[in-house]
Chains A and B, each alone.
Chain A
Amino acid sequence: MTDLKQAKINEAEAIERAKQGDGEAFEFLYNLHKRRVYSLCLRMVSNPPEAEDLAQEAFLQLFRKIGQFRGESAFSTWLHRMTVNVVLMKLRKKGLNLISLDEPVENEEDSQKRDFGGEDTRLASSIDRMQLQSAIEKLPPGYKTVFVLHDVEGFEHNEIAGMVGCSVGNSKSQLHKARLKLRELLKLSRAEKAVKPSGARQ
């Protein structure tokens, strides 16, 4: 029962054994991909219990089809896409706009003011992950979807356009706006941190 834990087995072997109904092979595959899948779900819905359900659903959908799977290299891509589909389906069911198509057009002056910000415009040379994570949570759903799919998950704009159902241009523009919004939120959180140094309690 423990050979999967003891011996170093690769993903392809685990897939073949999972096809035979081997529980440890399923667990091995789950452990190999759980962080990626769960993190994706969590970034997209910003709600841990919901993300758990979605991750569970994505793995189940994949495992149910494992008998049809051929070849090792595409397994993570397959799982990854399935996870995105499960999450997008959920967001659609909740009635959330995956893309904001009708955003107000801002005039160039406003846009420039916002984009450059005030005096102290640059972020630090690195960003705290927790702060980035909480800034992503605050993004409007449309921005968040494209940002997570592109910058966190590494999908191309044409893939995102296909998955979300928008144009490539739309995906690019949502991504840009998401990054601008994140920059604003990160600067804000940096400013708040400067006012309230860590450890200061009332």
Chain B
Amino acid sequence: MNCVEFLQTLPEGPENHGNPEFNHHLNSCPACEGLAADLDLISREAVSLAEYDDPPPRVWNAIALQLRQEGLIRDPQQQVLQLPAKRRRWNPFLIAAPLAAVLVLAGVLFRGDLGTTPTRPVRPTAAAPILNQADQQILESVAAQTPELKNAYKENLERVNVYIDHAEVALKANPEDQAAQQELMDAYEQKNMVYAMAMDRASE
């Protein structure tokens, strides 16, 4: 076997190891031996990439949210949850009012800080809206279980309230704008997530 024949046989991989001619050339030709060793090294190192990257927390958040919406996650405390279907036809009157009432009971698992959700940055403003009664209630139940987390939840709720305010203003300015409609839906969804996380905390 010469170098050209060796190269033509190389793609066969491990099957070549039973080929005496292949092995003979491999052991007697430094150039082919070097090439085969490099390819083998690349192949062996590639395995280490199989679990190399960690997905950001928002991937689980999104999965959990979806599983709850589809009823696949049914935590005992959260069976009353009736989230609006994410892409259903938009009707702000159907969603806003019942949502406010349902929020107290609703829950969607959310592990992470809203401030770290890069897709939708929400910054508290100087004029952060005050927390409503439901917000205060949920904060109290968090504080009862894990007082050290109360401030983090408070901050998150304030942020998401700002987000909702901004989204409402934008939608009022352009009531037909689908992006603005979606933005408000997303804002409510984020608030749901904070509530859910708080509910999980409170029930632990």
Contacts and interface: CB of A to CB of B under 8 A. Distances in A.
Contacts, number: 145
Interface string B16-54: 000000000000000100110111011101111111111
Given A129-B49, A132-B42, A52 B11 contact: no
Interface string A109-136: 0011001100001110111010011001
B53 A39 contact: yes
B39 A39 contact: no
B72 interface: yes
Interface stretch (A8-16, A90-98, A159-167, A170-178): A170-178
A81 interface: no
Nearest to A40: B50
B176 interface: no
Nearest to B48: A129
Given A21-B73, A36-B51, A115-B35, A175 B11 contact: yes
Given A34-B55, A132-B46, A127 B41 contact: yes
A30 B55 CA distance: 11
A152 B47 contact: yes
A133 to B, nearest CB: 6
Contacts of A38: 53-55, 59
A143 interface: no
A52 B45 CA distance: 24
A174 to B, nearest CB: 9
B60 interface: yes
A64 B72 contact: yes
Nearest to B46: A151
A17 B43 CA distance: 38
A45 interface: no
Nearest to B15: A172
Interface string A1-40: 1100000000000000000111100110011001111111
Contacts of A39: 49-53
B82 interface: no
B35 A30 contact: no
Contacts of A108: 4, 7
B202 to A, nearest CB: 10
Nearest to A131: B45
A129 B64 contact: no
A188 interface: no
B79 to A, nearest CB: 9
B46 A121 contact: no
Nearest to B118: A49
A63 B64 CA distance: 10
A112 B29 CA distance: 14
B59 A34 contact: yes
A111 B32 CA distance: 13
B62 interface: yes
B13 interface: yes
B66 interface: yes
A182 B35 CA distance: 12
Contact of A35 (B37, B53, B200): B53
Interface in B163-204: 200, 203-204
What are the 3 A-B residue pairs with the smallest beta carbon separation, nearest first?
Answer: A21-B74, A176-B11, A38-B55
Interface of A: 1-2, 20-23, 26-27, 30-31, 34-40, 42-43, 51-52, 55-56, 59-60, 63-64, 66, 108, 111-112, 115-116, 121-123, 125-127, 129, 132-133, 136, 147, 151-154, 172-173, 175-176, 179-180, 182-183, 186
Given A26-B63, A123-B38, A183-B35, 12 more contacts: A22-B75, A35-B52, A39-B49, A52-B59, A63-B72, A64-B70, A115-B35, A116-B35, A121-B38, A132-B42, A132-B45, A186-B42
